[in-house]
């Protein structure tokens, strides 16, 4: 059976429609089946950040405005993410009126729907060319997606296109992808990957995002070895500032690892991948029971299966990342999980002999603090930023937008 075509209004008001007893079950079932719940992350109303919002017979496409350097999260972006249909318009009466009109049009949309002429193996190049991009080579591959380099035809600017086949990753598409899209659209920070466009096709979701020319942090270290003290300070500070921003707006990442830290050729470090992110209460401790993230970067409380503080779990992940940056190896061997947890709980952190004399003592001290199994002794994000090691970083050679920042990282490449 080929998927029917639905208008933007039908998809956009799904949450309202399913609460209406008069809505045809066939309509709701079809939307849910063919769009894998992605409609739940669609905006109920347009915001200032959306430059163009286009609905055609075969896609939903959101195009975002280019972010200014000084841009911060606006009320428009917040309203864009507000999925509550009762407050999406100026009054409940207007919303209910709009919903009733949408219900009346549901049958018409379904009756007028034409089958999409999608080939079993769709033409990827044509999909991108039709939307103003030239598809180039593959630059990465994840558990649920492929990443291809694309070039914007209008100006030649390069971006990364994350292509997610929802039929091959139904669990991820239904549980985590909507959360990733909704979370990413809230964020506006120089050290967090920015989404440029989201294209939702019946079976595929395409995310156009910033292109990290130097790849991820793990790949960079594997190719170039452990980072020098100055390089590590510069890059780690950017990572910590991104995590501080997340925590300040009530979001815990929960999957901080070197593979999710991307590097641009201008020296910018970006935190990415928000599939496991969750909202947290900034006024009190929030506990989570969901096991997520990567074992090698997971805190002992998470591995032991007890409710954990996602913020402190992020701090542990930062400790693992810093260890890898300056040591060039993992802090714990995940091949034996029981032994790994025992080592974590014993607070046994050893720096490899070959780099022990090179790693700054203040850096070693900070790593030991962040990898403390006692959550009451683990430092907060502000304590990390004010640590002796990061305070020693000259403000003239760090931060965002400085002319010599790109030379600092690229100098490692010779």
Residue set of the binding site: 162
Please state the three-class secondary structure of 154-209 as a single string. Answer: CCCCEEEEEEEECCCCHHHHHHCHHHHHHHHCCCCCCCECCEEEEEECCCEEEEEE
Distance CA 312, CA 381 (A): 9
Q: Which residues are annotated as a binding site for ATP?
A: 162
As a whole number of angstroms, the distance between CA 204 and CA 181 comes to: 14
- The DSSP symbol for 378 reads S
* Choice among 255, 273, 309, 314 that is catalytic: 255
Q: Is the backbone of residue 37 left (phi > 0), alpha (psi -120 to 50) or beta? A: left
Rounded to whole angstroms, the Cα distance separating 224 from 261 reads 16
Whole-number Å distance between alpha carbons of 66 and 396 = 28
Give φ, ψ of 386 to 5 degrees.
-95, 10
Sign of CA dihedral 18, 23, 26, 31: negative
Please enumerate in sequence order all residues whose Cβ is within 8 A of that of 83, keeping only pairs 6 or more positions apart, or say none. Answer: 15, 40, 41, 44, 182
> Nearest to residue 232, comparing CAs of 377, 392, 396, 69?
392
CB 111 within 8 A of CB 16: no
DSSP letter string, 22-62: TS-HHHHHHHHHHHTTGGGGS-SS--TTEEEEEE-SS-EEE
CA 397/CA 394 separation, integer angstroms: 6
- Beta-carbon contacts of 402 under 8 Å, excluding residues fewer than 6 positions away, are 396
CA distance 237 to 229: 12
SS3 217: helix
The answer to whether the beta carbons of residues 354 and 364 sit under 8 Å apart is no
- Is residue 255 annotated as a catalytic residue, yes or no? yes
- Measured CA to CA in angstroms, residue 39 lies from 11, 127, 205, 253, 274 at distances of 6, 21, 12, 23, 18
DSSP state of 5: P
Q: Which residues form the catalytic set?
A: 255
């Amino acid at each position: 059976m080929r998927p029917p075509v639905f208008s933007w209004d039908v998809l956009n008001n799904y949450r309202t429609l399913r609460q209406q007893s008069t809505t045809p079950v066939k309509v709701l079932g079809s939307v849910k089946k063919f769009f894998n719940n992605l409609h739940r992350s669609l905006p109920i109303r347009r915001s200032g950040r959306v430059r163009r919002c286009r609905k055609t017979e075969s896609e939903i496409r959101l195009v975002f405005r280019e972010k200014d350097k000084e841009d911060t999260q606006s009320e428009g972006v917040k309203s864009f993410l507000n999925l509550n249909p009762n407050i999406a318009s100026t009054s409940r009466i207007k919303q209910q009126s709009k919903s009733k009109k949408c219900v009346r049009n549901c049958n018409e949309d379904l009756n007028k729907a034409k089958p999409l002429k999608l080939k079993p193996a769709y033409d990827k190049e044509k999909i991108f060319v039709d939307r103003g991009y030239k598809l180039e080579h593959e630059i990465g591959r994840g558990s649920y997606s492929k990443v291809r380099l694309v070039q914007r035809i209008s100006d030649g600017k390069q971006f990364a296109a994350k292509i997610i086949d929802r039929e091959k990753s139904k669990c991820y598409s239904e549980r985590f992808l909507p959360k990733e899209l909704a979370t990413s659209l809230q964020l506006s920070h120089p050290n967090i990957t920015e989404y440029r466009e989201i294209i939702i096709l019946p079976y595929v979701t395409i995310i156009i995002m910033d292109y990290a020319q130097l790849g991820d942090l793990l790949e960079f270290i594997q190719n170039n070895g452990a980072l020098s003290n100055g390089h590590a300070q510069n890059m780690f500070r950017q990572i910590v500032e991104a995590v501080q921003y997340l925590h300040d707006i009530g979001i815990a990442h929960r999957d901080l690892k070197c593979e999710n830290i991307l590097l641009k050729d201008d020296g910018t470090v970006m935190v990415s991948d928000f599939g496991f992110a969750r909202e947290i209460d900034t006024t009190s401790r929030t506990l989570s029971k969901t096991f997520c993230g990567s074992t090698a970067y997971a805190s002992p409380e998470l591995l032991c299966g007890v409710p954990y503080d996602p913020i402190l779990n992020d701090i542990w992940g930062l400790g693992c990342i810093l260890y890898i940056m300056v040591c060039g190896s993992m802090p714990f061997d995940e091949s034996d999980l029981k032994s790994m947890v025992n080592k974590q709980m014993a607070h046994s952190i050893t720096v490899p002999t070959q780099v022990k004399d090179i790693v700054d003592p203040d850096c070693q001290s900070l790593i030991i603090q962040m990898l403390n199994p006692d959550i009451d002794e683990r430092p907060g994000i502000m304590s990390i930023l004010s640590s002796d090691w990061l305070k020693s970083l000259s403000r003239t050679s760090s931060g965002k937008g400085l002319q010599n920042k790109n030379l600092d990282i690229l100098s490692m490449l010779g």
